[in-house]
Amino acid sequence: MKEYYENPLIERYSSKEILKIFSADNKFQTWRKLWVALAEAEKELDLHITDEQINELKSKIFDIDYELAARKEKELRHDVMAHVHTYGAQCPKAKGIIHLGATSAYVGDNTDVIVYTQGLLHIQKLLINLINHLSNFALQHKDLPTLGFTHFQPAQLTTVGKRACLWIQDLLMDLTDLNHVIDHIKLLGVKGTTGTQASFMELFDGDQEKVKRIDQLVAEKMGFKKTFAVTGQTYPRKFDAHVLNVLSGIAQSLSKFATDIRLLQSLKEVEEPFEKTQIGSSAMAYKRNPMRTERICSLARHIIINSLNPAITAATQWFERTLDDSANKRISIPEGFLAADAIIMIAINVSENLVVYPKVILQHINAELPFMVTENIIMEGVKRGGDRQELHEKIRVLSMEAGNTVKVEGKPNDLIERILKDGTFNLAAKDVDALLDPSLYVGRAPQQVTDFINEEVNPILKDNENILNLNKTDLKV
């Protein structure tokens, strides 16, 4: 019996790994690790805290009495103090030194930074694996000519692999943004109620060096190099906006990728994976709907819109602290990560199982190529004694006639036959056939693929070999 709402991101889309990162266990265990780090730092700076108290705190980091915490929060109407009391009940010897000198933001904000960092590293791992799969696809199909499209109208030829490089390049830009955010992450540190560290100045009898040092010590114990130099009670909410902007950028890139695949599937040129027993439509049994890439576009839209939440929050904070961020960020930021995890995992599944139909691609090329080779035909005609301007006018007239045959009469493009029959160009069928090889019209596309992968992608993949070959047993598609 399921009578209550369940979050689809949890039930249908997101991986166990990202759900663990944003789990209650990870959150509240991190709170306790931060309380241990604070006690250790305070002891090292000569406050009267014993090893026995610290060891007792350490022994209960992973043993959280959630029932007691819930009862205490209902009584106290304060989540942090509820957990302080719960931890104290489990650690009676250390009860009096838990949270000493700290404010709620000490555990809340520092934990958020830690959890978001874990989430960003997880997204980084997924993104690099996706880039790897798309790179393999690009190299595999770097020489396969295909119609290029501008305005979704047939244009000059490109290759299937070259088009994939456009997707990869967008993702490389996202990876650069992601790495920048990761490289510049800072903890809130130990700042007190308005960021002045006044409570710690009191604890350490006005010793500014010790107060400065406790900020550094806690950061080091939690695995971070830096804290924000100045804050109010919280870390700057601009950080949350930066994090969601990165996820939004990834969503934008993957929506573009997925939309291209959906269009190509409609053209029957490229298809997302379709399983043997999969049903495409409840009514039309023959259909093979692109449900994976449609899901990417759907969830990507949620991420892009959701990125406005921390932006507006950052814009509307008052002075050193307001609490109108809390309820919003505990929903919007985890959901942004969960949805980003889902779309990248789906994109990985799609990219390593894409099906390409070269004969359909060639059929579409052949329908348009006669128009595209007309300039070459004019030049060949001139070589055989023709007048360039006369041949140009002749091609223009014949092209209009052939276009009318295609669009009005619904017949195949017969421009080449019209040119050969005309006789003005002095060309035999074998001369024109030599001009109809699609590979002659892809420019440097194959070499561009090779150069791009070798120069811009492979160095990144080499630096991250340890996180390639992702375990995808948890993938929900």
Cβ atoms 341, 300 nearer than 8 A: no
Tokens in use for 294?
């449609």
Catalytic (active-site) positions: 151, 281
Residue showing tokens 């093979």: 288
* Distance separating alpha carbons of residues 376 and 381, to the nearest angstrom: 9
Give the residue from 445, 354, 359, 361 showing the smallest Cα distance to 159: 445
Q: Which helix (H) or strand (E) holds 155?
A: strand 153-159
Which 3 state secondary structure label does DSSP give 67? helix
Residue showing tokens 């007792």: 56
Non-local CB neighbours of 76 within 8 Å, separated by 6+ positions: 82, 85
Cβ atoms 128, 461 nearer than 8 A: yes
- List the beta bridge partners of residue 146: 158
Tokens in use for 422?
């005309």
Which 3 state secondary structure label does DSSP give 291? helix
* Distance separating alpha carbons of residues 457 and 317, to the nearest angstrom: 40
* Distance separating alpha carbons of residues 127 and 243, to the nearest angstrom: 15
What is the radius of gyration, based on Cα positions, of the chain? 31
Q: Which helix (H) or strand (E) holds 211?
A: helix 208-221
Q: What is the 3-state secondary structure (H, E, C) of 343-399?
A: HHHHHHHHHCCCEECHHHHHHHHHHHHHHHCHHHHHHHHHHCCCCHHHHHHHHHHHH
- Cα-Cα-Cα-Cα torsion 260, 266, 270, 273, nearest 10 degrees, comes to 100
Give the residue from 22, 250, 15, 248 showing the smallest Cα distance to 116: 22
- Farthest CA pair distance, the chain: 103
